[in-house]
Amino acid sequence: MDPHLAEPEPSWQGEDPTRPDVAQAEDPFPGLRRMWTIAPVNHTPAGLWRLYRHRDVIRVLRELPAGVRRRDGTRAPGAMGGGGGAQEEGGTFMLQQDPPNHTRLRKLVSKAFTPRAIERWRPRTREITTELLEPAFEAGRIDVMEELALPLPSQLICEMLGVPVADRKLFTDWTTRGIHILRGQFLSPEERADVVDAIDHLAGYFTELIAERRGSLTDDLLSSMIRAEEEGDRLTQEELLVQSIGLLAAGFETTVGLIGLGAKNFARCPEAQAELRGEPGLIASAVEECLRFEGPIGMTTRVLHADAEFDGRVIPADTTVWLSLWSANRDPEFFDEPDRFDVRRDPNPHLAFGGGTHLCLGAHLARMETQEALGALVLGSTALEPEFETVEWGPSLFRVPATLPMRLRPS
Q: Which residues bind ligand HEM (CB under 6 A)?
A: 94-95, 106, 247, 250-251, 254-255, 258, 295-297, 300, 352-354, 358, 360-362, 365-366
Q: Could you tell me the smallest distance in angstroms from the CB atom of residue 361 to ligand HEM?
A: 4
Q: Could you tell me the smallest distance in angstroms from the CB atom of residue 247 to ligand HEM?
A: 5
**Residue 65 or residue 135: which is nearer to ligand HEM going by CB?**
65
Q: How far apart are CA 336 and CA 338, in angstroms?
A: 5
Q: Could you tell me the smallest distance in angstroms from the CB atom of residue 390 to ligand HEM?
A: 23
Q: Could you tell me the smallest distance in angstroms from the CB atom of residue 225 to ligand HEM?
A: 12
- The total of other beta-carbon atoms located within 10 Å of residue 82's CB is 24
**Residue 137 or residue 252: which is nearer to ligand HEM going by CB?**
252
Amino acid at 30: P
**Residue 34 or residue 67: which is nearer to ligand HEM going by CB?**
67
Q: Could you tell me the smallest distance in angstroms from the CB atom of residue 411 to ligand HEM?
A: 27
Contact 212, 114 (CB under 8 A): no
> How far apart, in Å, are the Cα atoms of 207 and each of 90, 106, 203, 285, 385?
18, 21, 6, 40, 44
Q: Could you tell me the smallest distance in angstroms from the CB atom of residue 135 to ligand HEM?
A: 25
**Residue 78 or residue 295: which is nearer to ligand HEM going by CB?**
295
* Cα 163 from chain centroid (whole Å): 21
Which uninterrupted H or E stretch holds 155?
Answer: helix 151-161
**Residue 301 or residue 381: which is nearer to ligand HEM going by CB?**
301
Q: Could you tell me the smallest distance in angstroms from the CB atom of residue 197 to ligand HEM?
A: 23
Q: What are phi and psi of 348, to 5 degrees?
A: -140, 70
Contact 47, 75 (CB under 8 A): no
**Residue 118 or residue 272: which is nearer to ligand HEM going by CB?**
118
Q: Could you tell me the smallest distance in angstroms from the CB atom of residue 94 to ligand HEM?
A: 4
Q: How far apart are CA 366 and CA 353, in angstroms?
A: 10
Amino acid at 53: R
Mention every residue, 6+ apart, whose C-beta is less than 8 A from residue 318: 70, 71, 76, 303, 304, 305
**Residue 179 or residue 267: which is nearer to ligand HEM going by CB?**
179
Burial of 8 (C-beta count, 10 Å sphere; 0-12/13-18/19+): middle
Q: Could you tell me the smallest distance in angstroms from the CB atom of residue 299 to ligand HEM?
A: 9
Q: How far apart are CA 168 and CA 202, in angstroms?
A: 12
**Per-residue buried b or exposed e for 329-367, using 16+ beta carbons within 10 Å of the residue's own CB:** bbbeebbeebeebbbebeebebbbbbbebbebbbbbbbb
**Residue 137 or residue 239: which is nearer to ligand HEM going by CB?**
239
**Residue 34 or residue 178: which is nearer to ligand HEM going by CB?**
178
Burial of 238 (C-beta count, 10 Å sphere; 0-12/13-18/19+): exposed
The angle, 0 to 180 degrees and rounded to 10, between the axes of the packed helices 168-178 and 151-161 is 100
Residue whose C-beta lies closest to ligand HEM = 362
In 3-state terms, what secondary structure has residue 381? strand
Q: Could you tell me the smallest distance in angstroms from the CB atom of residue 63 to ligand HEM?
A: 14
**Residue 113 or residue 310: which is nearer to ligand HEM going by CB?**
113
